[in-house]
Amino acid sequence: MCGIYGFIGEGKVEELINGLKKLEYRGYDSAGIAFAKDGTLVVEKHTGKVDELRDFISNDLKDKIRAGIAHTRWATHGVPNDVNAHPQTDCTNKIAVVHNGIIENFSALRAQLQAEGHKFTSQTDTEVVAHLVEKYFEGDLLEAVRKAILDLEGTYAIGVLHADVEDEIIFARKKSPLVLTADGERSFCASDVTPLLSKNREVVFLEDGQIARLKAGTFEIFESSGKKVQPTSKYIEWSEKDAEKGGYKHFMLKEIHEEPRVLSDALVGRIKDDEVYLKELEGWEDYLKSVDKINVIACGTSYHAGLVFKYFFESLRPFNIEVEVSSEYRYRNVLIDDKTLTVAISQSGETADTLESVRLVKSRGGKVLAISNVVGSTLTREADKTIYINAGPEISVASTKAYIGQLVVLYLLALYLEKINGHDHKEIVQNVSKLPQLADNFIISSADKIENAAEKYVGYSNFMYIGRGINFPSALEGALKLKEISYTNAVGYQAGELKHGPIALLDEKFPVMAIAVDDKLREKMISNILETKARNAHVVAILTKGDESTAKIVDDAIFLPQLPDYLYPFLIGTTFQLFAYHVANGRNLNIDMPRNLAKSVTVE
């Protein structure tokens, strides 16, 4: 949440805006930049999106600067307005600070600094950092930041610029990511890799507690004790093009259309002769044989992927799997023994609650396997092992292709655990390996039909998604997708739960999305559909091709090909993503940046 960007070396003000643009999906309540001009600190900040800031400072964009820091905000402390936008400054108006995260002891620090004579102008927790740096600054900016962060409790990624210190900018992190790179003449730091891809794909991830000093073309890293450390770099495979819209109206639509490629990239090298190979799990064979319980932890869409995993694995053999949202799991008194495997799913690898759950598991001696999309993210560094989904950068705030990538990797994991335990599922492996083609055919043949169906439902304020068995998590995910981007009050239920309360909601203004594909629970689903029709609800049904009898009793049908039960969640996932997209598009909403949300929830 929130985006940080900064550079040092010859450049233009525009560079800061361009960097921020690529981070805007991290937060977009307000945006701001700071740079020094002839010993004077210039701060420009504005409520709203980065383009509004760009218009606001349009006359200055070509100005040459030696260094700058920039921020796009997702408000935590203080309403989104110009004053609370970052950068925040100190009393001398020489120091500018950008910050991601939450300073938990900011009230105490603020009171203490006020008692010492510091004057505050904003409601933000960030402003205390600017005043602390001012307090400790005696000519050495690195040292002042080092002392300031020793006073901070909570989470932070900060960038600091001093108008009198021309040749360096400082960054520091604790539990909120920062990535560094240099291109020979300039050095850059950002809260994720996307704005760095065009600079140099050899990057360094700052570790917790570390401080970076950037000079033109180089950077150094220090521990909080002041001891210098040798950075280790990582090469990022993603290209700059991966993070662009490529002709689509929105990133979300582009990312949905990438799903066949995502499936293929997630599978590549992992299936051979109808067997699953996960080289990431090498050395764990004996441990995995002994595992008798799997705890899955994740949030939001990743949690829904975890639920599908549970149903899929149980369809292979009875197994003890618990799936829990991380924000609950981390406060539970869970039993973790040496036969428990914890699987932490996070597209970004930076979700605060998932990371805290992982730390809980590790503090109790448990082993953690991460499923993530972001190379070098905090989760992947803290987990014992990681399987990457290789989906490429996901820019749209609503997760789409990463969900499909998570599903397929989780299927591979289940099949690999089966293989390790001597259970052979050749036919299932074969079917999983056909997913890229299946998804491709489906998108080509059905995208327009889904769009047509969605257009009829643009005007509704409510929606209920229902499913059973392995398709129940898809109901949750479909409802989440619709509510987050179209602001429809969408809810997901196990269809069997309808009679226990939710059916009271239904009438002609409350449509139902029912998953009634040709699986072992189809008949039960048809009964549920009839119950909803009896309450005058409009029903859109996801059916298997050829099911004309069910198509006759519903208002709209979207057909999927005949598939083994366990493959339906993939195509249903894509269907619901497209449906939500077209409802939101029909309402002309800002689909890639829905209100109140941000990519990567790095605060609790």
Nearer to ligand F6R, 61 or 589 (CB): 589
The closest alpha carbon to 35, from 194, 179, 178, 166, belongs to 166
Residue 418: how many other CB atoms lie within 10 Å:
19
* Residue 484 found at the interface with ligand F6R (CB under 6 A): yes
* Residue 346 found at the interface with ligand F6R (CB under 6 A): yes
To the query of whether residue 599 is one of the catalytic residues in this protein, the response is yes
Number of H helices, E strands in the chain: 19, 27
Nearer to ligand F6R, 329 or 559 (CB): 329
Pair type for strands 187-190 and 179-182 = antiparallel
β strands within 206-270, DSSP E: 211-215, 218-222, 228-229, 234-235
465: buried, middle or exposed (CB in 10 Å: 19+, 13-18, 0-12)?
A: buried
- Give me the least distance between CB of 480 and ligand F6R, in Å please: 6
* Residue 352 found at the interface with ligand F6R (CB under 6 A): no
Size of the site for ligand F6R (CB under 6 A): 15
- Give me the least distance between CB of 402 and ligand F6R, in Å please: 7
Do the Cβ atoms of 4 and 50 come closer than 8 Å?
no
* Residue 577 found at the interface with ligand F6R (CB under 6 A): no
* Residue 354 found at the interface with ligand F6R (CB under 6 A): yes
Which one among 348, 378, 471, 486 touches ligand F6R, defined by CB under 6 A?
348
- Give me the least distance between CB of 479 and ligand F6R, in Å please: 11
- Give me the least distance between CB of 300 and ligand F6R, in Å please: 2
The closest alpha carbon to 464, from 483, 486, 490, 484, belongs to 490
Residue number of the CB closest to ligand F6R reads 300
Please give the residues from 272 up to 301 whose contact with ligand F6R meets the rule CB under 6 A.
299-301
- Give me the least distance between CB of 354 and ligand F6R, in Å please: 5
Between CA 537 and CA 239 the distance in angstroms is 47
- Give me the least distance between CB of 357 and ligand F6R, in Å please: 11
Tell me the CA distances in angstroms from 33 to 50, 96, 551, 577, one per residue in order. Answer: 10, 9, 56, 35
* Residue 390 found at the interface with ligand F6R (CB under 6 A): no
* Residue 486 found at the interface with ligand F6R (CB under 6 A): no
Nearer to ligand F6R, 161 or 408 (CB): 408
* Residue 528 found at the interface with ligand F6R (CB under 6 A): no
Do the Cβ atoms of 155 and 101 come closer than 8 Å?
yes
Pair type for strands 154-162 and 202-205 = unpaired
* Residue 88 found at the interface with ligand F6R (CB under 6 A): no
* Residue 351 found at the interface with ligand F6R (CB under 6 A): yes
Residue 346: how many other CB atoms lie within 10 Å:
32
The closest alpha carbon to 303, from 351, 348, 346, belongs to 346
The closest alpha carbon to 511, from 446, 469, 550, 453, belongs to 453
- Indicate which residue of 2, 147, 299, 367 is catalytic: 2
* Residue 347 found at the interface with ligand F6R (CB under 6 A): yes
* Residue 399 found at the interface with ligand F6R (CB under 6 A): yes
Between CA 66 and CA 44 the distance in angstroms is 16
Strand partners for 462: 489
* Residue 18 found at the interface with ligand F6R (CB under 6 A): no
The closest alpha carbon to 577, from 259, 140, 133, belongs to 259
- Indicate which residue of 49, 175, 481, 599 is catalytic: 599
Stretch that binds ligand F6R, among 127-135, 191-199, 234-242, 341-349 (CB under 6 A): 341-349
Do the Cβ atoms of 577 and 394 come closer than 8 Å?
no
Stretch that binds ligand F6R, among 39-47, 156-164, 221-229, 342-350 (CB under 6 A): 342-350
The closest alpha carbon to 35, from 70, 86, 3, 71, belongs to 70
Nearer to ligand F6R, 84 or 602 (CB): 602
To the query of whether residue 2 is one of the catalytic residues in this protein, the response is yes
Please give the residues from 102 up to 161 whose contact with ligand F6R meets the rule CB under 6 A.
none
- Give me the least distance between CB of 261 and ligand F6R, in Å please: 19
Binding site for ligand F6R (CB under 6 A): 299-302, 346-348, 351, 354, 398-399, 480, 484, 600-601
**Residues recognised as catalytic:** 2, 599
